Structure 1
Amino acid sequence: MIVYNKLVRDKIPQIIESTGKKATFSILDDENYKHMLDKKLYEELEEYGQERDINELADLVEVVYAIVEQQGFSIEEFENIRIKKKEKRGGFKDKLLLLEVDEGK
């Protein structure tokens, strides 16, 4: 038996069952779900950082979307916030690295 204690995607129970294996799951309450989403976010970020694989990046975005919805926002609302912020402050296409700011007058 392998113990995971981690948040998994919704279809994982059926996928495991289709292989003839048996797994135990529980449904999280809202507070534990929030905690496990945060934990999953860091897990997926680490996996993407190690592998630099587009599939890992997709997993990371899926967790971000779950966090957005858990906080009571729609993906559309989130995208509108992202777009407004990009319009105001720009994106990252110019590859700018801020080296220093002289605060002297």
Structure 2
Amino acid sequence: MKIYNKLVRDKIPEIIEMDGKKCVTHILTNEEYIAALEMKLNEEVAEYQEDKNLEEMADVLEVLQAICVARGYSLEELERLRAKKADERGKFADRIFLEYVEDGK
């Protein structure tokens, strides 16, 4: 027996059972779900930091989208806000690294 105690993608239990194994799951409350998603985000970001690959980026994005919806926002609202901030403050495309700001006095 291997203990996981973590949030998994929706089809994982089915995949496990198709492999001839038994798994025990339960459905989280909304509060537990958000906490588990935030833990999952940390896990996925750490995996991305280690591997730096597109698959891990996709996992990070999937978790971020789930957090957005779990907190009562729509993905459209998230995209609108992202685009608004990009328009007003820019993106990160120019690779600008701010070293310091001197006081104008």
Measured against the shorter chain, the TM-score band is over 0.9
Q: Structure 1: which 5+ runs fail to align?
A: none
Which residue is 2:63 aligned to? 63
Compute the TM-score of the two structures, normalised by the length of structure 2. Answer: 0.98
Q: In 1, Cα distance between the equivalents of 2:88 and 2:8?
A: 36
Structure 1 vs Structure 2: percent identity of aligned residues?
49
**Paired residue for 1:48?**
48
- Residue 84 of structure 1 pairs with residue 78 of structure 2: no
- Stretches of 4+ aligned residues off by more than 3 angstroms: none
Normalised by the size of structure 1, how large is the TM-score? 0.98
Question: Partner of 2:23 in structure 1?
Answer: 23
Aligned length, in residue pairs = 105
> What's 1:94 paired with?
94
Where does structure 2 lack aligned partners over 5 or more consecutive residues?
A: none
Encode CA deviations 1:62-88: one digit per residue, 9 max, x unaligned. Answer: 000000000111111110010001000
